[in-house]
Amino acid sequence: MSSLRAVLDGLFRLVFPDPGGCPVCGAGVAEALCPACRAEIESLSGEPHCDRCGRFFSPVPAPEPRLCRDCRRDAPPFERCRAYAPYDGVVRDAVHRLKYGRRPDLAVFLGGLMIRTVRSDPAYAGADLVVPVPLSREAFKRRGFNQAELLAREVGGQLNVPVRPALDKVRDTPAQAGLPRAARLTNLSGCFRFADKPDFLRGRTVIVVDDVLTTGSTLSEAAKVLLEARASRVLGAVLVAARI
């Protein structure tokens, strides 16, 4: 490194101090996650889940057929959703660091985990398009990036499927957490708008990517809009899903 470059680098670090260390456990490493946290996250997988929405059954044993109560009662508009792991422990910390700790670099590792899940399910083979769940304009300004879009770029890149931000979020919605199920569904109603060329989706299979699936109502709302825009199939892929 030239001395000028070193001086500039030093100045840059004064203005933007490096957060330093593993964003989950704080161990002193330069990479996105320390090897121990990485190994722990990589060892997760294979827990029984709902065949439709992908949420994880807890405690086991899972019911037969493997459908959660919500999906039995009222099948969601998407064909299926799959998650890499349940939303807890070290992977939950990593998602929080990605979103709230401004560590968009974590999306490369976390998106790589989603690829394993998507590749292991033949239903996802032959998808035409990857569409990220959008943030509202205000939320995007606050955070500076859309974590779902970063993950979608990893998934699309590795599947060799184009990524298309075909949805806009037209209004900010109150946090879903803590709302009863009925209120969650109306809370999101009409919050997405199709934002691509008319007929672009006709007959296509779309994978909608998000970071977290809790009730499935965000994915349902996105799927409704994409199906209205003539997509033939809508599948979901998320990094983590709630336990039910």
Does position 22 interact with Zn ion (CB under 5 A)? The reply is yes
Cβ contacts of 199 within 8 Å, gap of 6 or more: 230
Min. distance of Cβ 50 from Zn ion in angstroms? 3
> Among residues 32, 41, 56, 71, which is the contact residue for Zn ion, using CB under 5 A?
71
Q: For residue 162, give Cα distances in angstroms to 34, 59, 192, 228.
A: 31, 38, 20, 21
- Which residue from 32, 41, 49, 50 is in contact with Zn ion, where contact means CB under 5 A? 50
How far is the C-alpha of 32 from the C-alpha of 240, rounded, in Å? 18
Based on CB atoms, which residue is closest to Zn ion, 25 or 179?
25
**Min separation Cβ 214 and Zn ion, Å:** 12
What H or E segment, with its residue span, contains residue 233? strand 233-241
Give the contacts of 42 (CB within 8 A, at least 6 positions apart). Answer: 113
Q: Does 68 bind Zn ion (CB under 5 A)?
A: yes
Question: Scanning the structure block, which residue is given the tokens 């929080």?
Answer: 96
- Cβ-based neighbour number of residue 5 at 10 Å: 9
Site for Zn ion in 98-127 (CB under 5 A): none
The stretch near Zn ion (CB under 5 A) out of 32-40, 99-107, 157-165, 190-198 is 32-40
Q: How many residues bind Zn ion (CB under 5 A)?
A: 11
Residue 37 in the binding site for Zn ion (CB under 5 A): yes
Q: Which residues bind Zn ion (CB under 5 A)?
A: 22, 24-25, 27, 34, 37, 50, 52-53, 68, 71
